[in-house]
Every structure is written in C-alpha cells, then in structure tokens.
Amino acid sequence: MTAKEALRERIDLLTEEEAADLLDRLEWESTEEEELTPEEWARVREGERQIAAGETVDASAFMARFRR
C-alpha cells in the first residue's frame, strides 16, 4: 500500500469535524510564515510593557499555583 493509499483509508475513518481540524492543521503547517494579528501584536506589546515595568512572577511562584 502506498502512503497516499494509507492516508486515504485513514481519512475515510475521520468524522467531518476531525477532517476539518486536520485540514486546518495541514494548511497552518504548510504556510511558510505566520503573521500575528493586530490583537496578538497588542498582547505582545502589553507583555513587553509588563516586563519592563517589573510586573512579573518568578517561575517557582507561577508553578506553585498549579500544585495546589
């Protein structure tokens, strides 16, 4: 069986939702360069501002939140 034949068999077993998710991922991975949206850039700039202002949490304090 060729790789394409094996893929076709696997694709036939997917639900429509699973196929759509896989297609989205394949399209995302095939793009050469990902560009951030204006909203994402705003979040990056806000994070940079917080770092510059010293508004950070050290790693051990951050991880302690998840150990509770």
* Single-letter code of the amino acid located at 54: G
Q: Quick one: 1 and 30 in the same domain? A: yes
Determine the Cα–Cα distance for residues 54 and 63; give it in Å rounded to an integer.
19
Q: Quick one: 1 and 29 in the same domain? A: yes
9-67 tens-digit pLDDT: 999 999 999 999 999 998 888 877 778 899 999 999 999 999 999 998 888 888 888 88
Residue 61 sits in which domain range? Answer: 38-67
Contact 44, 36 (CB under 8 A): yes
Q: Quick one: 3 and 18 in the same domain? A: yes
- 0.75 cut: is pTM over it? no
Q: Quick one: 51 and 27 in the same domain? A: no
Q: Quick one: 30 and 48 in the same domain? A: no
Compute the radius of gyration of the chain from its Cα atoms: 21
Q: Quick one: 21 and 2 in the same domain? A: yes
* Single-letter code of the amino acid located at 16: E
**For tokens 């997917």, what's the residue?**
14
Q: Quick one: 2 and 29 in the same domain? A: yes
| Counted domains in the chain | 2
